[in-house]
């Protein structure tokens, strides 16, 4: 192992250790909410759906609800470490399984939205940085203002009314048509058609963010000395912009996407609700309606863990990509 790899490894290890107190903090917050909520903690652990009394009795024993609070926290933590997030009677399945079943749909939706936002956002940002205050640049600034202020669920409703109900270009709701071929290309095409509108709705905020950031960082980089040198060397303008400048202006985009992961998941929950997309967000909505508390708490823990992990990966990616970052 050479020196750079060793320091990178140390950096990763140090950052991973720093994430542990955050994870513990989130668990404690969850525990405190369960105990502060009105009514008995057991109601929250079981949910509103009728559960057999034997299960309720076993649960109070497992969680030590008659013991001191610190012991309860310890037991609660022990169960989480084993991946036990409780049982959902509304879904007749362990909570972890319920969440994992819905994960692919959410990943497909938010992944598509991120790719869309990255490609279009960077393209808009770079093109408008080439000609500040041009028509395209003004369009980009207006778009970024709109993207920041538009409630994503209203945008979803507008897209449904315009492109699904009025023009009938795309389906309004769901993930796959019931008439579609249950396997193969028919199913894929049906999912793709269902995916376009929700992914578009979800991407707008990030498109706005990416175009703003990449425009600003391109403007900054194009003023730097090494670009002047490249120009002096007689390199073509296209080569300067797309090879030399763009590569370095990508760094802030990595950070922005990483640190806005929570927003992405929140947006996904709202968009899934509007489009009846069968992901974790729709599950959250249904669980709130049926007061299925174990699932709600489980989703919160899963989302927090996801955010902490993505932040960690962002830091590592940034350190890896930018040699100036001190490891």
Q: Where does this chain bind other proteins (CB under 8 A)?
A: 21-22, 25-26, 29, 33, 37-38, 44, 132-133, 145-146, 148-151, 153-154, 157-158, 160-161, 165, 172, 216, 219, 262, 265-266, 269-270, 273-274, 284-285, 288-289, 291, 293, 296-297, 299-300, 303-304, 307-308, 311
Q: Which is nearer to other proteins, 130 or 291 (CB)?
A: 291
Q: Which is nearer to other proteins, 154 or 226 (CB)?
A: 154
CA distance 214 to 219: 8
Minimum gap (Å) between residue 168 Cβ and other proteins: 12
Six token digits for residue 239: 């080569």
Six token digits for residue 27: 């668990």
Minimum gap (Å) between residue 17 Cβ and other proteins: 14
CA distance 139 to 89: 51
Nearest 5 degrees, angle CA 314-CA 316-CA 318? 70
Minimum gap (Å) between residue 288 Cβ and other proteins: 5
Question: Would you list the DSSP string of 229-252?
Answer: HHHHTT--HHHIIIIIIHHHHHHH
Q: Which is nearer to other proteins, 52 or 162 (CB)?
A: 162
Q: Which is nearer to other proteins, 47 or 121 (CB)?
A: 47
Minimum gap (Å) between residue 6 Cβ and other proteins: 27
Helices (H), ranges, 135-224: 135-149, 152-159, 185-222
Q: Which is nearer to other proteins, 186 or 306 (CB)?
A: 306
Q: Report the candidate in 18, 23, 7, 19 with the shortest Cα–Cα distance to residue 319.
A: 7
């Amino acid at each position: 192992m050479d020196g750079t790899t060793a320091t990178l490894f140390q950096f990763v290890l140090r950052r991973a250790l720093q994430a542990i107190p955050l994870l513990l903090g989130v668990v404690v917050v969850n525990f405190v909410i369960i105990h502060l909520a009105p009514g008995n903690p057991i109601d929250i652990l079981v949910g509103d759906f009728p559960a057999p009394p034997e299960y309720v009795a076993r649960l109070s024993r497992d969680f030590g609800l008659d013991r001191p609070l610190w012991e309860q926290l310890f037991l609660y933590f022990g169960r989480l470490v084993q991946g036990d997030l409780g049982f959902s009677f509304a879904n007749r399945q362990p909570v972890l399984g319920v969440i994992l079943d819905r994960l692919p749909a959410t990943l497909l939706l938010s992944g598509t939205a991120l790719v869309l936002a990255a490609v279009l956002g960077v393209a808009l940002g770079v093109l408008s940085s080439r000609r500040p205050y041009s028509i395209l640049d003004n369009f980009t600034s207006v778009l970024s203002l709109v993207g920041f202020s538009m409630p994503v669920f209203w945008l979803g409703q507008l897209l449904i009314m315009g492109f699904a109900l009025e023009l009938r270009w795309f389906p309004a709701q769901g993930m796959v048509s019931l008439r579609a071929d249950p396997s193969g290309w028919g199913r894929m095409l049906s999912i793709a058609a269902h995916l376009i509108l929700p992914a578009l709705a979800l991407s707008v905020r990030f498109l706005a963010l990416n175009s703003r950031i990449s425009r600003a960082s391109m403007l900054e980089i194009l003023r730097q000395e090494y670009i002047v040198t490249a120009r002096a060397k007689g390199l073509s303008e296209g080569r300067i912009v797309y090879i030399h400048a763009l590569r370095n202006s990508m760094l802030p985009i990595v950070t922005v996407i990483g640190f806005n992961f929570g927003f992405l998941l929140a947006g996904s929950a709202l968009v899934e609700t509007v489009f009846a997309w069968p992901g974790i967000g729709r599950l959250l909505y249904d669980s709130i309606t049926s007061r299925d508390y174990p699932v709600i708490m489980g989703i919160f823990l899963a989302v927090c863990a996801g955010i902490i992990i993505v932040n960690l990966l962002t830091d590592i990616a940034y350190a890896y990509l930018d040699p100036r970052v001190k490891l």
